[in-house]
Each structure stands twice: as C-alpha cells, then as structure tokens.
Structure 1
Amino acid sequence: MNIRTDLAIEAREMVGKGEVPGVLFEKEGTLSLRISRVKVLNEEGMKAIGKPIGTYITIETDGIRNKEIKFVKRICEVIAEELSKMLNLSIDSMVLVIGLGNWNVTPDSLGPKVIEKIFVTKHLIEYMPESYNPKEGIRPVCALSPGVLGITGIETSEIIMGVVNRVKPSAIVVIDALASRSLERIGTSIQISDTGIHPGSGVGNKRMGITKEIIGIPVIAIGVPTVVDAATIANDTLEKVFDSIEREVKPGTELFKMVANLSREEKYEMIKEVLSPYVGELVVTPKEIDSLIEDASRVLAYGINMALHPGIKFEELSNLTMH
C-alpha cells in the first residue's frame, strides 16, 4: 500500500505550546474547523522536530463526512486558500495533479478517486482556446493516476519524472492516503505540505521520494489519514491506562517515575517492538472506509479545483467533473 505517515500534526505536536528555535507555529479557526501551520525555517528547526525545511498545514474538522453543503463548501474554500498561497503561480502556469495509491485497495484509493473529480483543462485550452481561457480564471491542468509499483513494475517517481520532462508543468500537486498516528485523526484532518512525499513510508517501505529536489519543480502534497497501525491502537489504549496509573499511584514511587518519564514516542516504539513479531506491519481501517474515501476525495478534489481554477464557482464543480 502506498500510504505515508502524518506530516503537519506530528510537527505541530512536537512544537507544542512552547517556542522551538527555527520553527514558527500559528493556529486559527473555530471548534468545527481548525487550521494549524508549522513552518520549519532552517536546519536548527529541522533538527528540533525531525521534519524537512518547509511549511506544514493541518486542517482539522469533523466535517469531511458532513453532508451539509454550506460546511463542505467552507472546507473546500479553506483548502483552496491554503493551496493557492503555497503554489503562488500565475493563472497561465500549468499544474500536474497526481493521485497516488492503489485503486484496487479501498483505504489506498484516495489519490485515484480524487483524480476522477479533477477538472483537467490542458487539452481544452490547447484545442478550444475561445471557450477556455486562463484570463477567465481557467488554468491549464493535467492529471494522472500512475498506480503503484506492484501494478506497473515502475517506480512512481520515475513515471512522474517522465511526464514532467514531456509536459513541463510549473508545479505538481500530489494526493495520497496517510497512515495516522492517532485513531482520532482518521477522516478528520487534511494535511498539506510543500516538502513533497516519500511513498510507502507509512507502512515501512523505503522508496524514491517525490520532492522538488528529485523531480525538479515544486511538489505540494495533500492527504487524509485513512488507516492506523496496530501499535498506534495499542498505544492509544495504553495511554489511557498510563493516565489512570498516574492518577492512582503516589508521586515519587518508582512506578510513577517510570510511567511519567516515558514520552508518547517511547511508549509507541516499545509497543511496536513487542507487537512486531506477532502482527508485523499490520494496519487497520474503519468499517465505513468506502464512504470515507468517497467523501474525502470529493472535498479534496473540489478544494484543488477551486485553487487551480479561481474562475470556477463551487456550485459549478459537480457539473464540470461529472462526479
């Protein structure tokens, strides 16, 4: 499966409420829609939180699966605003949208599902310039679902580089499913980063990255968590047990010190080491994953379409994309 780990939320949690040298953190929004931005400015910040230099944005909301059109529209508008700022391109600059993942595996099909709903216009602008014009807010956009290594036998990065060399877009937007480090994040957060991605990292596969350094043009990554690993489930459960122990055990005892001094990451690694011989790299997804993928793909696609085509209104997208 072509799933990677969380980006922005992990970075944000590493920052916490205190200041970290080389890292800027800001948060805004309401209880129903929260936006967090973490900017890693230099090598000092990179070493502090273990993330490459760049910007990490998290949009947290329970509304991805909300059917209320006004709320869905607001989420799409936020995605469009954040993506537009990150791309910072003129309206006539071409963008290539890539949907990573395996369309045969539901939790990993987010990328291909988004591509089905992207309004592609490169061919329309070339052959019907009188009807589709960048001056009217319609950008040249092309899209691709390259599949996974197990289907094609070709590294995804190599496929993308071949297309980039031929089509020559100004930037790439990559959509991928995420492996979360918290049960609560499944289907409730949208993550955007300008540092690219490393396919398969969320399930232990070390693969060639899709980044500006490798591809040669800016790469914006967008994703939604769709699975968690077994160690995360066990860790979340034990977190509650440890919290209970801390409340019941007297401060100063050896047991209290042992529990209190373990960080969440240390607990996770300890549990992962214990479980690995028995379950390996087991990942779990919710039973309603089909509807989650459909809802999340529509929200992401509409947000991306609004960012790439500012001349198109939210209400017009369902007709333009046929989904």
Structure 2
Amino acid sequence: MQNLNWERSDLIDESDEVVLHQTREQKQTLEQSSGIQVEDRNAGRVKITDVQVNGEGEKQIGKKQGQYITLSVPTLTLEDKDGFQQLEKALLTNFKKLHESIAWKDDDKILIIGLGNRTITPDAIGPYLIDHLHSLEQIDDKFVMYAPGVTGQTGYETGEFVAALAERIKPKLIIVVDALATRASSRLCKTVQLTDTGIHPGSGVGNQRQEISFEMLGVPVTAIGIPTVVDAPVLIADAVELMLRSIAARVAERGKPSSKLSLSSWQPDTNKELDMSLITPIFGEWATWSKEERQQLFEETFAASHSQLMVTPKEADYWIDKYATLISSMLTKWASEL
C-alpha cells in the first residue's frame, strides 16, 4: 500500500516511537536510540505520560525539543464531576512543576492567548477560555488576555499578533491555549497536553501557521491543548477494530461455560489479547491485519472524498465550555500562588 501521512495528531504520546514503549526494555531502547525519555504514572483516575525530547529525539519524531505532559481520564463524561475535579487537580500540579524554575516578580505579566475560531465549535476552546477569564469577578493583575482569531478572519498571521503583543507587554510567560487533533477517537475531549515548546497553530489538521515559541518571540511559551477532532478514516478504523475484536472474542468464548452463565446479553472483553485468526473464515486474511494497516487502507480508500473530513463529538459545545471553565479555574489558582 502507498504510505500516506494519515496519522495527523498534535499529541506527543501518539507518535509511533512513543507508542512503542510499553515494556521496560522497549522504553530503555527508545531512550538510548532516539533521545526520548518517557515516564508513565497515575494520579487517581488521571493517567499521565511525561515525555522529555532532546535534540536527537526531535530529529526522530519531528516534535520539538522540550517537555510534554499528557493527562487523560479515559472514562470521563460530561456529567463526571469527580473526573473533572481530578483532572484539574492533576493539571494544576503539573502546570506548577513545568514553571517552577521561573522567578516571579510582583509586576510580571502573563500573556494568555486563546487560539481558534469561535464560530467553529471544536476550534473555539481558546476564545471560550478568554471569555471565561474576562467573566470572572476578580481577574488576576498579572493576566493580559487576548483571542486573536484565525488568519482566515483577520488576514494576518496569528503569530504576528502574538509577537506584537509580546513586544508591547514584555510578558514573563506566554500561555497559548488551542484545540488539537488526535488519531484515537477514544481520546476526544478526554485529554489535556501541556508543553513548554510552544505551538504551530493548525498543524494537526494540515493547516500549519507561523510558530509561536521561545525561539520566535524570546519569551517562554507554554501550550495547553485539548484534542477535539479526529480524522474520519481513523474513526472508521476504530469502529471496525472494535467490531472485529468483539466477534473474535465471542468466537473464542463459544462453547465455554462462561458464555452461558450471563443473565443478560453477554459482552466480551475486547481489551485482552485475542486470536484474530479465529475469524479469518468470516473476513479472510484482512482480519489478521494490524490496526495500523487497516487504518492505512481506509485512508487510501477515502483519500479522494474524505481526506479533509474531521470528526468531533456531537456534544462538542458542552465539552468546550467544560474545558474552558476547567482551564480558567486552574490558571486562576496557579497565578494566585505566584
């Protein structure tokens, strides 16, 4: 098959080299061969992946040298108050660690940039955040907040707006908040990524704009991103993967007592290791392909009509508002302790 670049993602822990670090041996090999250090840990229900990329690692995976912290609550729902509270607590803790080397003064300013297009819901997390911060009864004196819109609306590069503000305000730190793309539908609106490397607006959806980073502005830049969209072929591949694994699990359990004991409709465990060859009589050799090979096939098949189609949850407006509130609360608590 033709090797197309279907894996559009802004998340560091979805890079192939980082994904392949599950065992201790693989992790050591990764660190030695590509200059990438990966640490996994948990804070209650929050799964945290801390990735350090050095100069050699940057060449290997195409992600800038620096620190990336990904926080995820896989079971998060809109009504899950406990999940959002734990995520905010873990986000605040890791945000503090990311900036503990900065020596703050009373008159230092923090420039908060909300990237995105407020007229397109899954891209509106940045502008929504700025709205939430402006609506607070008391706004921290250190904050200078701005939502510059997108190039299609203003005709100017977002990076140029940020550079002009940075030149005028002389902030100690720039915080950029934006929507991200993921290559796993299960992570939509359930993950937050922090990084001290800055950001390339629009890169995850193939619309890369001027970089906003320390190298470009001479000011430390921290990016906060929420994955809100996924490529359509990836979504299709995820659904097919779930279907195939479900059928394989049912075939494997057929005839076993465990499949007959359930009083309700029996649901197989599709997360455990399965023998996919059991369903080759039904689907042929295609059933034994890896998930990545099937995703590649879908991308090639739908390239003409679906290459630009991105998918977002139907409750995207509620998710965006939830995260705007969460990040606003986290930033306010963090700034109050400086």
Whether TM exceeds 0.5 here: the answer is yes
Q: Offset at 1:30?
A: 4.9
Matched, 1:8 2:12: yes
Q: Please, which of 324, 329, 333 is the counterpart of residue 302 of structure 1?
A: 329
Unaligned ranges ≥5, structure 2: 1-7, 249-274
CA contact (8 A) 2:46 2:86 kept: no
User: What SS does the aligned partner of 2:233 have?
Assistant: helix
Amino acid at match of 1:15: H
Q: Please, which of 231, 234, 250 is the counterpart of residue 232 of structure 1?
A: 234
Q: Offset at 1:192?
A: 0.8
CA contact (8 A) 2:113 2:146 kept: yes
Quick check: which has more Rg, 1 or 2? 2
Q: Distance in 1 between matches of 2:117 and 2:170?
A: 25
Q: Offset at 1:173?
A: 0.8
Amino acid at match of 1:167: I
Q: Distance in 1 between matches of 2:288 and 2:67?
A: 34
Q: Distance in 2 between matches of 1:267 and 1:47?
A: 27
CA contact (8 A) 2:229 2:312 kept: yes
Which residue is equivalent to 1:320? none
Q: Offset at 1:268?
A: 3.2
CA contact (8 A) 2:148 2:161 kept: yes
Q: Distance in 2 between matches of 1:275 and 1:213?
A: 38
CA contact (8 A) 2:277 2:288 kept: no
User: What SS does the aligned partner of 2:313 have?
Assistant: coil
* Matched pairs, number: 286
Q: Could you state the TM-score of these two structures normalised by the residue count of structure 2?
A: 0.76
Q: Distance in 2 between matches of 1:103 and 1:82?
A: 28
Which residue is equivalent to 2:276? 246
Matched, 1:75 2:80: no
Amino acid at match of 1:140: K
Matched, 1:285 2:297: no
Which residue is equivalent to 1:216? 218
Which residue is equivalent to 1:207? 209
User: RMSD between aligned alpha carbons?
Assistant: 2.8
CA contact (8 A) 1:94 1:169 kept: yes
Q: 1:113 to 1:50 in 2, by over 3 A?
A: same
Which residue is equivalent to 1:60? 72
CA contact (8 A) 1:87 1:171 kept: no
Deviation string 1:133-189 (CA, Å, 9 cap, x unpaired) is xxxxx6612111000011111000011001001111122111001111111001111
Q: 1:211 to 1:267 in 2, by over 3 A?
A: farther
User: What SS does the aligned partner of 1:34 have?
Assistant: strand
Which residue is equivalent to 2:96? 84
Q: 1:55 to 1:267 in 2, by over 3 A?
A: farther
Matched, 1:37 2:37: no
Q: Offset at 1:56?
A: 1.1
The ranges of structure 1 where at least 4 consecutive aligned residues each deviate by more than 6 angstroms after the TM superposition are none
Q: Please, which of 117, 129, 139 is the counterpart of residue 114 of structure 1?
A: 129
Q: Please, which of 287, 295, 303 is the counterpart of residue 276 of structure 1?
A: 303
CA contact (8 A) 2:196 2:221 kept: yes
Q: Distance in 2 between matches of 1:87 and 1:42?
A: 21
Q: 1:52 to 1:106 in 2, by over 3 A?
A: same
Q: Distance in 1 between matches of 2:214 and 2:291?
A: 33
Q: Distance in 1 between matches of 2:93 and 2:135?
A: 20
Amino acid at match of 2:181: A
Q: Distance in 2 between matches of 1:249 and 1:288?
A: 35
CA contact (8 A) 1:15 1:49 kept: no
Q: 1:64 to 1:308 in 2, by over 3 A?
A: farther
Q: 1:280 to 1:236 in 2, by over 3 A?
A: same
Q: Offset at 1:27?
A: 1.6
User: What SS does the aligned partner of 1:197 have?
Assistant: coil
Q: Could you state the TM-score of these two structures normalised by the residue count of structure 1?
A: 0.79
